[in-house]
Chain A
Amino acid sequence: MSVLVYVEQAEGKFKKSVFEAVSYAKAIADQQSTNLTAISIGDVAESELKELGKYGAAKVLNVSADQLKTFVNQAYASVIAAAAEKDGADIIVLSNSFSGKGLAPRIAVKLKAGLADGAVELPSTDGKFSIKKTAFSGKAFAITELTSTNKVIALNPNAFGVKENATEITIENFAADIKQSDLGTVIKEIVRATDKVSLPDAELVVSAGRGLKGPENWGMIEELAGLLGAATACSKPVSDADWRPHSEHVGQTGIAISPNLYIAIGISGAIQHLAGVSSSKVIVVINKDPEAPFFKVADYGIVGDAFEVVPKLIEALKAHKG
């Protein structure tokens, strides 16, 4: 019995959410008095693999087959399930990223395992292996018990944090047996905006709504986000009107996020919007309507016109950063 963590790479690098998953998996391995093994698939340099040792992985299985250089969930799931069997792992941890969401369910079926996705805390130690996960789009949590022998956990970004736990790490090449039938999806193109912070795992988010009056007014939102190193987001009416792309829509029918800081500008705070952002650690609301429902769930608020407040905020932030 051991714990296996899948470490997703993007262009040969691991993101913070991966180190969070390793930190989380290490804590589970400690709970279970067992070892943590990581599995990496694709081209990752030895120096980057060794980084995993900082967070407690004792071993990393390195899979670098040509057919697996880019993500194919079907093949990746086969490789991870095979590694779990070979390594005797009964708990598989991965990040609840876009790719993780397409991968974890396939691993779960292969291993006849219960899957807790959107996990936000460590499993209980009462012998029941219950995990707190988000439900009802942020309006509640479900404490879900994994009753199967094998277990798969997909950890939400920004929920557990990165915890250093330096361990001597060994790198082992893992020869994967790849079935041609597992390679049915072929990647034609990957488009990544490198100059922007990705929203799902952003620590700081600046979001704006209909109060901005039109897409031409987003310059100050982007400037504020840029100064903070924050991702930009928006409310549903804004993406519905095509002022901003759908990928920026947070809320019940958009994406749910839990950044350290969420700044909502010109968003009234309908229940569907609040559902997607209520697990943010600190919420700042800027709205000219003092009766806006968003103020009820905010930590800090400014009642004022966004077109006056935001430029002042930008100046104050510039002064703060010196």
Chain B
Amino acid sequence: MKILVCISNVPDTTTKITFTNDNTEFNTAGVQYIVNPYDEIALSRAIELTEGGKGTVTVINVGEAANDPTVRKALAIGADDAVRVNAAPRDAYFVAKQIAEYAKDKDFDMILTGRESIDYNGNQVAAMVGEFLDIPSVSIIKKLDYDGSSATIEREIEGGKEVVTVSGKFVASCAEGVAEPKIPTMRGIMSARTKPLNVVEAVAIEEVTKVAKYETPAPRGSVKLVPADQVESLIGLLHSEAKVI
């Protein structure tokens, strides 16, 4: 079994998000980067599925050399080898095209991603890779079982879940529940240094989006406190002032 896991290099979840250059660029000063938390879930499930000599896990990242520590982290968690497509990740369309180009002749049984990256929150890459490769894709999955030729997958829907089966190659984007994120062991960290990290060049593709500007949410006014012994007045405020109930 061969699994490809797509990983994104994202700002740590505690990062305070600011912008520079007239709000046209993300301010990377002092930002710590991590493996996108959802991608860690995908990677952890891939490792579980291939454990005990049942297969191999390759991780792929589209990014520049500065991403290598994040890629090595994925190797430390337990991927067998890694590929970095050497290009700034312009948008999901660009990233998905690069992943599809790499994967098209490599015979992966499945390609996993996280449900979304925590920076651009797109949830686009998995389904786009599926479309570029003309294979099924299932987005935002909560459970993944694989019997060697077909997968049984639970995907999230509003107010419930859907159980689907897929035969043959597929792509899926993983959410919480698919696996507990694995933490690198000391042995994993040591061996990650010598595992293969291949760098390939990007293919050209038309531009379809670009970020013109960023905005931060408008600050809220100060809180109106209601004394704990006058709880009923909160109901009044929500009804007649905020008009939400």
Contact = CB atoms under 8 A, between A and B. Distances in A.
B131 A147 contact: no
Nearest to B231: A312
Interface stretch (B69-77, B78-86, B121-129): B121-129
A253 interface: yes
Interface stretch (B55-63, B156-164, B187-195): B156-164
A191 interface: yes
Looking at chain A's contact residues, is the secondary structure mostly helix, strand, loop, or mixed? Answer: mixed
Interface stretch (A23-31, A85-93, A131-139, A214-222): A131-139
Contact of B130 (A106, A135, A137, A301): A106
A146 B160 contact: no
A201 B227 CA distance: 31
B109 to A, nearest CB: 14
A35 interface: no
Contacts of A101: 123, 127, 139-140
Contacts of B38: 253
B31 to A, nearest CB: 11
Pick the most buried of B161, B177, B209, B228: most chain A CB atoms within 10 A of its CB.
B209
Given A98-B139, A252-B118, A272 B244 contact: no
A169 to B, nearest CB: 25
Given A147-B210, A300-B242, A140 B163 contact: no
Contact of A114 (B93, B164, B221, B237): B93
Contact of B176 (A148, A204, A246, A301): A246
A200 B158 contact: yes
Contact of B226 (A128, A301, A305): A301
Given A98-B140, A109-B93, A187-B162, A136 B119 contact: yes
Nearest to A290: B225
A190 B118 contact: no
A78 to B, nearest CB: 10
B208 A73 contact: no
Interface string B84-104: 000000011100100000000
B103 to A, nearest CB: 15
Interface in A70-119: 71, 73-74, 77, 97-99, 101-106, 108-110, 112-118
Interface in A115-166: 115-118, 128, 130, 132, 134-148
A144 B216 contact: no
B13 A299 contact: no
Contacts of B126: 105
B136 to A, nearest CB: 4
B158 A253 contact: no
Contacts of B123: 101, 105, 117
B228 A304 contact: yes
B139 A148 contact: no
A265 interface: no
B166 A184 contact: yes
Contact of B215 (A102, A143, A295): A143
Interface string B204-226: 00111111111111001101111
B245 interface: yes
B235 A144 contact: no
A223 to B, nearest CB: 15
Contact of B212 (A140, A144, A309): A144
Contacts of A201: 158
A201 B137 CA distance: 24
Contact of B139 (A102, A115, A192): A102
Given A184-B166, A317-B235, A254 B176 contact: yes
Given A301-B224, A316-B231, A320-B235, 14 more contacts: A73-B138, A97-B158, A101-B140, A103-B127, A109-B96, A109-B132, A116-B209, A140-B19, A140-B217, A146-B208, A194-B159, A253-B38, A300-B234, A313-B235
7 contacts: A73-B139, A106-B131, A115-B124, A194-B159, A253-B13, A300-B238, A302-B225
Interface of B: 11, 13-14, 16-17, 19, 37-38, 91-93, 96, 118-128, 130-132, 134-140, 142, 152, 155-168, 170, 175-177, 206-217, 220-221, 223-228, 231-232, 234-239, 242, 244-245
